[in-house]
């Protein structure tokens, strides 16, 4: 099937790169987002997020006429829904963004269209998306009603990219595609093969949903081991970074690096979707989430003990993003730590985050955003929360007269 027009709903950290990837293959792409600022920025050939190489791709796509953005869905041949899936109170999945996108897209669907849910979702979300669309469009048939003979094809294809490397990984990584029927899967594979060089592997929708949750839960469990190990090593006066390097010399051991917690919209959120679906069975996954969620409090306690050495300590938080060299603050443990310290040490906390221009609302008025050199000159306590490239270049001599709490191992060479 020829997909002449592709609509990408949700122009964030996944949707916009995906739209640009299709446009780079000379596909006509309509990007849809409720954020008017994002739409206006993209239509000027610029971007509203930080991701290496994305600015060049978007500028070329818009300039050449292959990509434009709008706030209202328009008819297309294929629709990719890439909206947020946060959790609500009690760590329950919040599908309100998917529902809103589904109901917004449904009026412009026509017979033969393909709809792919890319948002990381709890098991059953793709079927629920199809049900919402069917409510709006009783004149069309969907896979849950007509199977292979349905008017609309529905599939799930979760993203599996690393922030900071999204453009390369979108193209090179394998994709798991799960349709509500085999034909749905095959059509979705045809769509993605227009730009994906990795293998497109077919399965059913529920398995595809669970696959993404499994991948991120695997990472979360292994990070929890490293984070728990770092706390134990602090108690036993052992350099955890050196310990991990030594242990990883074993041919069958590969311990990950500890940090101040776990952030981002994926690893810090997705395991809860499994816990919510099978609360009695997901014991290890739940425990890993607890370990990683507790790590920021442990770091805060260490900072508070260090600050007691000074009458009016200035505390510098190096990094607010959830990982290195990006501007994404979603579920960031660094942000959580900075917020807690600002409450405890009012007017004494400065933050360095080279990838943002202004502080998020949660820190405005309580934390001062400043340049790295200024922060190092003022600080009594330096808390390294993110291993941004700029921080790796700091001369250790500049930190000798300060108390340094290094949650990323930047200063460990033992």
Residues labelled as active-site residues: 212, 266
Residue 407: how many CB atoms within 10 A of its CB? 26
DSSP E strands: which ranges in 190-240?
A: 200-204
Using alpha carbons only, what angle is made at residue 99 by residues 279 and 6, rounded to the nearest 5 degrees? 120
Category of 112 on φ-ψ map: left (φ > 0), alpha (ψ -120 to 50) or beta: left
The first and second tokens of residue 206, run together, are 């529920």
User: What is the residue whose two structure tokens read 């949660």?
Assistant: 362
Q: Which residues, including other chains, have CB under 8 Å from residue 246's CB and lie 6 or more apart?
A: none
Measured CA to CA, the distance from residue 53 to residue 123 in angstroms comes to 33
- Cite the beta strand spans of 62-174 per DSSP E: 67-70, 78-81, 87-88, 92-93, 114-117, 153-156
Residues 108 and 77: beta-carbon distance below 8 Å:
no
CA distances from 348 to 182, 343, 388 (A): 59, 10, 23
With a CB cutoff of 8 Å and minimum separation 6, the contacts of 244 are 226, 229, 255, 257, 258
Long-range CB contact pairs, 133-141, < 8 A, 24+: 133/102, 133/103, 133/105, 133/106, 133/109, 135/103, 135/106, 136/102, 136/103, 136/106, 136/107, 137/106, 137/107, 137/109, 140/109, 140/111
Closest CA to 194 of 125, 133, 266, 116: 116
Q: How far is residue 232's CA from residue 378's CA, in Å, rounded to a whole number?
A: 32
Closest CA to 404 of 299, 334, 329, 326: 299
Residue whose C-alpha is closest to residue 345's, from 359, 363, 360:
363
Through-space distance between the first and last CA atoms of the chain, rounded to whole angstroms: 58
């Amino acid at each position: 099937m020829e997909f002449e027009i592709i609509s990408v709903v949700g122009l964030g950290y996944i949707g916009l790169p995906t739209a640009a990837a299709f446009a780079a293959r000379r596909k006509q792409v309509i990007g849809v987002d409720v954020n008017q600022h994002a739409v206006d920025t993209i239509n000027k050939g610029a971007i509203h997020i930080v991701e290496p190489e994305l600015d060049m791709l978007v500028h070329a796509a818009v300039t050449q006429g292959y990509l434009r953005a709008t706030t209202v869905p328009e008819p297309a041949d294929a629709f990719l829904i890439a909206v947020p899936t946060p959790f609500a109170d009690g760590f329950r999945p919040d599908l309100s963004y998917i529902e809103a996108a589904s109901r917004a897209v449904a009026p412009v669907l026509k017979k033969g269209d393909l709809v792919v849910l890319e948002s990381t979702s709890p098991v059953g979300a793709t079927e629920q998306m199809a049900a919402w669309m069917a409510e709006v469009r009783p004149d069309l048939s969907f896979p849950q009603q007509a199977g292979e003979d349905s008017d609309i094809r529905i599939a799930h294809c979760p993203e599996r990219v690393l922030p900071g490397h999204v453009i390369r990984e979108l193209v090179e990584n394998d994709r798991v595609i799960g349709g509500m029927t085999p034909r749905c899967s095959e059509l979705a594979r045809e769509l993605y093969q227009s730009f994906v060089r990795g293998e497109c592997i077919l399965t059913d929708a529920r398995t595809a949903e669970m696959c993404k949750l499994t991948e991120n839960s695997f990472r979360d469990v292994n990070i929890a081991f490293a984070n728990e190990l770092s706390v134990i090593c602090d108690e036993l006066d052992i350099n955890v970074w050196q310990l991990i390097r030594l242990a990883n010399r074993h041919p069958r051991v590969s311990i990950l690096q500890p940090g101040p917690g776990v952030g981002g919209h994926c690893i810090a959120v997705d395991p809860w979707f499994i816990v919510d679906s099978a609360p009695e069975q997901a014991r290890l996954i739940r425990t890993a989430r607890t370990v990683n969620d507790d790590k920021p409090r442990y770091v805060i306690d260490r900072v508070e003990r260090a600050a007691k050495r000074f009458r009016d300590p200035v505390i510098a938080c190096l990094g607010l993003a959830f990982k290195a060299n990006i501007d994404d603050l979603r579920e960031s443990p660094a942000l959580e730590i900075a917020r807690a310290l600002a409450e405890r040490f009012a007017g004494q906390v400065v933050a360095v985050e080279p990838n943002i221009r202004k502080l998020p609302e949660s820190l405005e008025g309580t934390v001062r955003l400043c340049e790295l050199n200024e922060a190092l000159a003022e600080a009594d306590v330096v808390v390294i929360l993110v291993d941004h490239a700029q921080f790796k270049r700091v001369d250790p001599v500049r930190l000798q007269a300060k108390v340094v709490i290094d949650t990323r191992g930047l200063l460990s060479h033992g």
